[in-house]
């Protein structure tokens, strides 16, 4: 590689990082100046929103609200992944059972997630556990249904290989069927993650005592408009961060898949 190419390579790498940041930066600049002199009670200056953000979301509320929110989301989402992959793998290998349960699964999946919030409060009460259970219930379906599909869709040639080499059921499941299903499982998990994020907030809008959604709702009801806006900022940033983390994990896990498909 020549020196010029090295510089060019480095320039391109820098551009890859910088270009996607241009538009957000422009928005912040425009927002900053356009709102600087704002006296509207609904649209406070960005400077005040950011000050509120630093004061609340980088301060005590990390422990009192942000972490509880994220903890509930991860607990529910994590349980859904474990249960969804486990049940999905089982049902994928037992077509008759899957067929019998299909109407129930479709019914459960079709229930609008938000409509279940009052139901879960009525049945399970308030506190952390009902919220976690609700997040888990809603997110288990995309994981499980995708796992069923993926485990079922293992290439018949590969099934012949595993049978002719007399792999045990356990080896077939963990070494062949689940890895083969991974691209579809991950797609289901990605959907589940988005749903979990929404449900994290939704479960905090009724019968909650802490959390990002709770704080944002209270801020709106008590006319602390800057706090409300700063909550939106935080949710946006958290959402992007969660997606980036997931994309990194996915790229690592499915490296073979993207490469194998290029050939």
| By the rule CB under 8 A, 181 interacts with another protein | no
Side-chain-side CA neighbours of 7 within 13 Å: the count stands at: 3
- Longest CA–CA span in the chain (Å) reads 76
- Among 51, 83, 167, 233, which residue interacts with another protein (rule: CB under 8 A)? 167
The answer to whether 231 and 217 are in contact (CB under 8 A) is no
Closest CA to 113 of 53, 198, 193: 198
| By the rule CB under 8 A, 170 interacts with another protein | no
| By the rule CB under 8 A, 87 interacts with another protein | no
How far apart are CB 260 and another protein at their closest, in Å? 4
Choices 39-47, 160-168, 185-193, 216-224; region in contact with another protein by CB under 8 A: 160-168
- Among 71, 78, 108, 179, which residue interacts with another protein (rule: CB under 8 A)? 179
| By the rule CB under 8 A, 174 interacts with another protein | no
| By the rule CB under 8 A, 251 interacts with another protein | no
Q: Distance between CA 82 and CA 222 in Å, rounded?
A: 40
- Among 38, 106, 171, 209, which residue interacts with another protein (rule: CB under 8 A)? 171
How far apart are CB 263 and another protein at their closest, in Å? 5
Helices (H), the chain: 3-35, 46-57, 61, 67-93, 95-110, 116-124, 128-152, 156-164, 169-171, 178-202, 212-221, 225-253, 255-262
Side-chain-side CA neighbours of 167 within 13 Å: the count stands at: 15
Q: Distance between CA 254 and CA 248 in Å, rounded?
A: 10
- With CB under 8 A as the rule, give the number of residues binding another protein: 22
Choices 5-13, 43-51, 151-159, 240-248; region in contact with another protein by CB under 8 A: 151-159
Closest CA to 227 of 57, 31, 28: 57
In the bound state with another protein, the residue whose beta carbon lies nearer, of 31 and 257, is 257
In the bound state with another protein, the residue whose beta carbon lies nearer, of 10 and 255, is 255
Neighbours of 189 (CB within 10 A): 25
In the bound state with another protein, the residue whose beta carbon lies nearer, of 174 and 223, is 174
| By the rule CB under 8 A, 259 interacts with another protein | yes
How far apart are CB 160 and another protein at their closest, in Å? 5
Q: Distance between CA 229 and CA 168 in Å, rounded?
A: 56
Task: Give the rounded distance of the alpha carbon of 225 from its chain centre.
Answer: 27
In the bound state with another protein, the residue whose beta carbon lies nearer, of 60 and 155, is 155
Binding site for another protein (CB under 8 A): 155, 157-158, 160-161, 163-168, 171, 175-176, 179-180, 182, 256-257, 259-260, 263
């Amino acid at each position: 590689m020549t020196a010029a190419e090295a510089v060019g390579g480095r320039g391109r790498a820098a551009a890859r990082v910088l270009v996607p940041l241009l538009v957000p930066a422009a928005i912040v600049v425009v927002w900053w100046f356009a709102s600087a002199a704002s006296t509207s009670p609904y649209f406070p200056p960005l400077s005040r929103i950011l000050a509120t953000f630093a004061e609340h979301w980088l301060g005590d509320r990390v422990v009192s609200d942000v972490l509880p929110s994220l903890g509930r989301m991860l607990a529910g989402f994590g349980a859904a992944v474990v249960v969804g992959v486990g049940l999905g793998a089982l049902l994928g290998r037992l077509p008759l059972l899957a067929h019998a349960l299909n109407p129930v699964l479709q019914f459960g999946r079709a229930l609008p997630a938000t409509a279940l919030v009052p139901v879960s409060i009525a049945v399970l009460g308030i506190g952390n556990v009902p919220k976690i259970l609700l997040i888990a219930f809603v997110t288990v379906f995309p994981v499980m249904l995708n796992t069923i599909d993926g485990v079922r869709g293992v290439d018949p040639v590969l099934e012949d290989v595993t049978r002719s080499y007399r792999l045990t059921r356990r080896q077939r499941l963990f070494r062949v069927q689940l890895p083969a299903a991974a691209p579809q499982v991950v797609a289901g998990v990605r959907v589940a993650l988005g749903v979990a994020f929404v449900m994290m907030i939704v479960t905090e809008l009724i019968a909650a005592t802490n959390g990002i959604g709770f704080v944002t709702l209270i801020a709106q009801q008590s006319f602390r408009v800057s706090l409300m806006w700063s909550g939106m900022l935080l949710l946006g940033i958290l959402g992007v961060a969660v997606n980036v983390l997931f994309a990194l994990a996915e790229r690592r896990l499915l490296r073979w898949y993207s490469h194998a498909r290029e050939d």
